[in-house]
Amino acid sequence: LLAVFTILTTFAAPAQGLSEAATLAVIVLLGAGIGFLFGQRKVSNVGADDGSDSRDGLSGFVTRDFLSHGIGSLAARGEKNSAGAVMAVDGGFYDRLSRILGFAVADELVKAFAERLRDSLPPESRVARLNADQFACLLPGVSLDNAVETVKRCSWRLEEPFEISGTPIAVGPHFGLAEIPAERIEDPGSVVRYASVAARQARDQRRPWTVYEVEQEPVRKDQFTILAAVRTGLQNGEFSLHYQPKIDIKTGGVIGVEALARWNHPVRGFVSPLEFIPVVEETLLIGPFTEFVAETAAAQLSAWLAKGLRVPIAINVSANNLTQSFGIGRLFASLNEHKVPPELIEIEITETAVFADFPEIVRMLRWLRDQGLSIQIDDFGTGYSSLMYIQQIPANGIKIDQTFIRSMVRGEKNLEIVTASIGLAHSLGMKVVAEGVEDQATLELLRAIHCDAAQGYHICKPLPADELEVFLRGMTSREAIRA
């Protein structure tokens, strides 16, 4: 339009008696006016459909950047009341469904999920697809209390089964909420991140939804610091393994040890495993960390065999180790390099981790047991056991969690739980280890209810390899640990 008007004005102006300077001024003013109108049209369309560049092809939702722009606009208005909230939705189905039924089915469920999510939201809401089955919803002018009501409505709708290719599929989404501050913010995308963090926290805690709390931000930042320090520590040899014995309750002989990671930081000194293990397990760093444990354990087994000690070592693995095979390949490579028989390695995995992706993890556990490794279900009793599923896990034994063992002597109900767990395991052909044994009375009670093995500070604390050798050679039932 500006170009056409320029041509017309250039030729028509002399006829009207306008000078060239006046003509140029008219052109400049008109151009500025047209530019302003187009600019206003662009601003007014923020949050509307302005083309494929702002839309996700599968769900039809806007992109993360487009949503962040809308958050920034709301915050910049400086409303006295709440500028609004962001609701993150973690579907929690895409990875597992794509592995079982294929990507086409998983994509079809994303479309159905997105459509139902859209229908469950207020009309003024905007939604972005962040990842495969993760979404963020902008709720303008909504208080946190009202946002919670939106979460409840969405949760109720999304938990209804979806009909995909003639098959009903139920999902269990988790939600996170973050409030948009009523002031200008430098990084509007941070609000999306906060909501996503809250959704992840809800999933980890097995809660339907959580609200982001800014007070926890220093803790989360510290987790990134820990991850960086762990990576450096692995490279610099700051980690080692200590070994805690497990004894046969009937004979008193050592039947194996559990490998427990210890971190001696050059500045902080001893760092508790409770600080770094949960953080490592949730990231890709679990791969190299498990490789370190596997390599160290295999080398130690080889050294003990050379000294005539045949002591199986149990190592802990996470769900990510099995579903992504992180560290598992290195385990077998280490066993081959050190000429250690696989039956001297026991795999301990928590009951909760098994149910994180039950079909895939059971498949991997079955394969590991076929290779000669022993499988133990750790922290038994703290997860979501059911008789239907427990019998499908290819485990050689269970370890009853210490929370039941430590109060077993005082609490009648805990004694009944432990007794029932031992009976269940024995009926399925599994051995039982009681962890957290801290006194002789507990050990005697475990013997009376026919528990197979025990582990805890009353027997022996975790020891470095050289100190453990001294302990092993001091045992009276040496035949139980000799090759």
Q: How far is CA 399 from CA 95, 377, 418, 431, 454, in A?
A: 30, 6, 11, 9, 9
Task: Note the pLDDT tens digit of each residue in 98-146.
Answer: 877 888 888 999 999 999 999 999 988 889 888 889 999 999 888 888 8
Q: Which residues pair with 257 in a beta bridge?
A: 245, 313
Q: Which residues contact 227 (CB under 8 A, 6 or more apart)?
A: 279, 280, 283, 285
Task: Note the pLDDT tens digit of each residue in 259-275.
Answer: 999 999 999 899 989 88
pLDDT at 18: 45
Return the higher-pLDDT residue of 88 and 392.
Answer: 88
Q: Which residues pair with 246 in a beta bridge?
A: 256
Give the HSE-up count for residue 431: Cα atoms under 13 Å, Cβ half-sphere.
Answer: 14
pLDDT at 9: 43
Q: Which residues pair with 455 in a beta bridge?
A: 435
445 SS3 class: helix
Going by pLDDT thresholds of 50, 70 and 90, the confidence category of residue 435 is: very high
Tokens, residue 206: 């097995």
Region 235-256 average pLDDT:
95
Written as one letter, the residue type at 113 is F
pLDDT of residue 72 exceeding 60: yes
Q: Which residues contact 405 (CB under 8 A, 6 or more apart)?
A: 418, 434, 435, 436, 437, 442, 446, 456
- Sign of torsion, CA 114 117 121 127? negative
pLDDT of residue 21 exceeding 50: no
Token pair 């809308």: residue = 70
Q: What is the dihedral of CA 385, 391, 392, 398, to 10 degrees?
A: 70
pLDDT at 233: 95
pLDDT of residue 229 exceeding 60: yes
pLDDT of residue 476 exceeding 80: no
Rounded-to-integer distance, Cα 403 and Cα 429, Å:
24
pLDDT of residue 397 exceeding 50: yes
pLDDT of residue 93 exceeding 60: yes
Q: How far is CA 473 from CA 175, 186, 307, 452, 477, in A?
A: 55, 64, 11, 22, 9
> What proportion of the chain, given as a percentage, has pLDDT over 90?
42
Tokens, residue 333: 């490579």
Region 143-158 average pLDDT:
90
pLDDT at 1: 44
pLDDT of residue 22 exceeding 50: no
Work out the number of other CB atoms within 10 angstroms of the CB of residue 426: 14
pLDDT at 65: 77
> Using DSSP, how many helices (H) and how many strands (E) does the chain show?
19, 16
Please, are residues 433 and 268 in contact by the beta-carbon 8 Å criterion? no
pLDDT at 94: 86
φ and ψ at 187, to 5 degrees?
-125, 90
Please, are residues 256 and 246 in contact by the beta-carbon 8 Å criterion? yes
Rounded-to-integer distance, Cα 244 and Cα 256, Å:
8
Return the higher-pLDDT residue of 351 and 185.
Answer: 351
Region 70-88 average pLDDT:
70
pLDDT of residue 206 exceeding 60: yes
Rounded-to-integer distance, Cα 139 and Cα 404, Å:
45
Q: Which residues pair with 351 in a beta bridge?
A: none
Q: Which residues contact 324 (CB under 8 A, 6 or more apart)?
A: 287
Token pair 């992840």: residue = 200
Task: Note the pLDDT tens digit of each residue in 31-61.
Answer: 444 443 433 333 233 333 444 456 777 888 8
Average pLDDT, the chain: 81
Region 392-409 average pLDDT:
89
Q: Taking phi first (over 0 means left), then psi (-120 to 50 degrees means alpha), and beta for anything else, what does residue 465 get?
A: alpha
Rounded-to-integer distance, Cα 194 and Cα 185, Å:
14
Work out the number of other CB atoms within 10 angstroms of the CB of residue 144: 15
Which of these, 90, 393, 447, lies nearest to 252 by C-alpha position?
A: 447
